[in-house]
Chain A
Amino acid sequence: MEGFKHLIDSLTKPTILVTFTFIIFFFLFPPSDWFDKWHRRLRFNALWGKKALLIINVLLVAFFIFGLGDPDFRAIVLKPDNVPISGLIFLVFFFTWLSMNQAYKNDELVEAGKPVDEHYDAPNDKVLVWPDLVYVEFICLILFSAFMMVWSIGLAAPLEEPANPSESPNPSKAPWYFLGLQEMLVYFDPWMAGVVLPSLIIVGLMAIPYMDNNPEGSGYYSYKDRKLSIAMFMFGWLVLWVLLIVIGTFLRGPNWNFFGPFEYWDSHKLEALTNVNLSEFIYVKLFNTGLPGNILLREIWGLLIILGYFMILPPLLAKTWLKDMYLKMGVARYSVFIVLIITALTLPIKMYLRWMFNLKYIIAIPEYFFNF
């Protein structure tokens, strides 16, 4: 028992957990034919079959039941504001499974030259809203109301201590659905993590239909014809959003340190986290000189790196690795798309830099509130 808990605790170290997720992810949701080949060779496609649904759900339930026996895990899961997140884990898995299951079914139908499940032969395939749809809605509504009633009677709504401006709770966590944002705040300055990145998430989501100019797969579940777009959406949604929420909920403890899900929340846990900026790496550690007084000179390396990342990488990719995509999308679509993607990628990059080198800022100009 204890051994298993230790195993889980050490596997959920953020570096291990996130690296593992990154490596395995595109074999689960293959973005290209090459990945698809391995996806099938590794038999990951079985994940979207009925058996896997059962097995994984049983495992998840077993894990939660087992976890509830542990006081530290129980304290996290049973905190009222966290209850929905346990639900969310099941729901996200179930609906991912459901959509992938139907997508694979349709892919097979298409391969066999048959029409997809949602195949629609207007106007013969129409049904009447009254009663066919209205009944479905009505039943949904009744069941859901009953569910809300039971939930509300069974579980008191969260309410913390009265406001006390001089004492922040330790740890101070936002409600679970904002924990992805809260996690971002650790790696980026507030103007990025609190303003620019959230705005880009919204703008990026709104831009999806304008960037994805692949006409296939509209109006039915499918995977094969939309590999790349689905894989990328899944990555943003499951990894950069849901996984960060799970990390924020289960792995962040007092003083915002990392803890395993079964680890005791010791508020005196010591971790060496002293920050270093890129300029300090270069001037102090590498050149062994002091930091130059001139701001521009001090930050020139970081500025060059960031400029290169945003100005040189996109055209370079367009000429080489992403050539096909560039040709298919055209300049405007490609530019918006690639800027959004590489901006999103700065998040994992900065996470790793922080975890491995305690690197805080690539550009640090606190004099003008400009830190990146």
Chain B
Amino acid sequence: MAEKKGLLKRLAEGQIWTSIFRGGGVPQSRRQRMMVVLNSVFLHLHPVRLPKHAVKLKFTWCMGGLSFFLFLIETISGILLMFYYRPTIEYAYPDIIDLAEQVPFGIMREVHRWGAHAMVITVWLHMFRVFMTGSYKPPREFNWSIGVILLLLTLLLSFTGYLLPWDQLAIWAITVGSNMARATPFLGHEGPGAALLAIGDINFVTVASDVRFALIGGRFLGEATLLRFYVLHCIGLPFIIMIFMSVHFWRIRKDGGISTPV
């Protein structure tokens, strides 16, 4: 070939590039562009082609995508925070202050906190858009329900998260929150019906055996409470939300991609 190749092109056709990006080369033909998506584990969350309105911002508002992106931001910034934060009543609060004052680029906590607020908003708006385009209608009913669980998990992640600094907001939120658990019908010791679960004088649902106890690890708030919520926030809930997100994304593809008018 007489044509002179540019640096980029030569790079893209070299051995290293072709070994990483299967097929290699700069994707230009229609076939190559399709292969890009098919060949990448990340991109193949997407279909290869999709209806033209689905790429328009004014249809999806990109809200689902932003929710997912925020989840990634939260994961990364959260892992960074874990390098400094210790979940004990003695250290939690000072560690939070140190995160801003003693750590270079001490904005990770800001990123994490504001990211959480933003994620709540984007998930709400995503749900709103899905409702307004009627995208929950068959065959997407189940995925909508999965979505509602994602919304719940997002809120639970926020709740468990803002307890961790162990400041005034934290303990009064957990006080109020755990006392709601105390009022759960049958399962909480001040819930309606709990008194019925008794044989003679022996109550089965007491302050030391109800859901509130399981949640806070004792009859009073304390070290156990902070640790439990820390584990839930950093491991338990993220693990669960990732499972549901995988199902959510899988079902978007299986239900025929972004909804279209029939």
A and B touch in the complex (CB under 8 A): yes
Q: In whole angstroms, what is the CA distance A161 to B96 when docked?
A: 12
Give the size category of B's interface with A: 35 or more
B237 contacts the other chain (CB 8 A): no
Q: In whole angstroms, what is the CA distance A130 to B32 when docked?
A: 9
Q: Which one of A44-52, A114-122, A341-349 contacts B?
A: A114-122
Whether B180 lies near A131 (C-beta < 8 A) is no
Q: Which residues of A contact B183 (CB under 8 A)?
A: 189-191, 194-195, 369
Q: Mark B237-251, 1 if CB is under 8 A from A, else 0.
A: 000000000000000
B12 contacts the other chain (CB 8 A): no
Segment 125-161 of B: residues with Cβ below 8 Å from A: 125, 127-129, 131-138, 140-141, 144-145, 148-149, 151-152, 155, 158-159
Q: Which residues of A contact B194 (CB under 8 A)?
A: 369
Q: Which residues of A contact B188 (CB under 8 A)?
A: 191, 195
Q: Which residues of B contact A215 (CB under 8 A)?
A: 137-138
Q: In whole angstroms, what is the CA distance A175 to B46 when docked?
A: 35
Q: Mark B149-190, 1 if CB is under 8 A from A, else 0.
A: 101100100110010011111111100100111111100101
Instruction: For the complex formed, measure the closest distance between the CB of B258 and the CB atoms of chain A, giving whole angstroms.
Output: 8
For B59, give the chain A residue with the smallest CB separation. Answer: A118
Whether B51 lies near A140 (C-beta < 8 A) is no
> When A218-B135, A368-B195 are in contact, do A128 and B49 touch as well, CB less than 8 Å?
yes
B61 contacts the other chain (CB 8 A): yes
Q: In whole angstroms, what is the CA distance A226 to B57 when docked?
A: 23
Q: In whole angstroms, what is the CA distance A88 to B37 when docked?
A: 35
For B144, give the chain A residue with the smallest CB separation. Answer: A209
A156 contacts the other chain (CB 8 A): yes
Whether B52 lies near A128 (C-beta < 8 A) is no
Instruction: For the complex formed, measure the closest distance between the CB of B53 and the CB atoms of chain A, giving whole angstroms.
Output: 4
Q: Which of A137, A168, A177, A370 contacts B120 (CB 8 A)?
A: A177
For A147, give the chain B residue with the smallest CB separation. Answer: B118
- Main SS class of interface, B: helix
Segment 347-372 of A: residues with Cβ below 8 Å from B: 368-370
Whether A133 lies near B180 (C-beta < 8 A) is no
Whether A195 lies near B184 (C-beta < 8 A) is yes
A196 contacts the other chain (CB 8 A): yes
Q: Mark B43-68, 1 if CB is under 8 A from A, else 0.
A: 10011111111110111011001100
B18 contacts the other chain (CB 8 A): no
Whether B113 lies near A191 (C-beta < 8 A) is no
Q: Which residues of A contact B107 (CB under 8 A)?
A: 152-153
Q: In whole angstroms, what is the CA distance A149 to B112 when docked?
A: 11
Q: Which residues of A contact B97 (CB under 8 A)?
A: 159
Closest 5 CB pairs of A and B: A194-B180, A209-B141, A152-B110, A219-B259, A190-B183
* Residues of chain A having any CB pair with chain B under 8 Å: 81, 84, 87-88, 91-92, 95-96, 98-99, 102-103, 115-120, 122-123, 125-134, 136-137, 140-141, 144-145, 148-149, 151-153, 155-165, 167-169, 172, 174-175, 177-178, 185, 189-191, 193-196, 202, 205-206, 208-210, 212, 215-222, 226, 230, 233, 237, 368-370
> Please, could you name 5 A-B residue pairs with CB atoms under 8 Å apart, sorted by A?
A84-B118, A123-B49, A140-B62, A148-B118, A219-B260
Given A118-B133, A175-B158, A196-B185, 20 new contacts (CB under 8 A): A96-B128, A115-B261, A120-B260, A127-B49, A128-B33, A129-B37, A129-B48, A144-B69, A152-B114, A159-B165, A163-B168, A165-B171, A175-B173, A177-B117, A178-B159, A190-B180, A190-B190, A191-B184, A219-B133, A369-B191
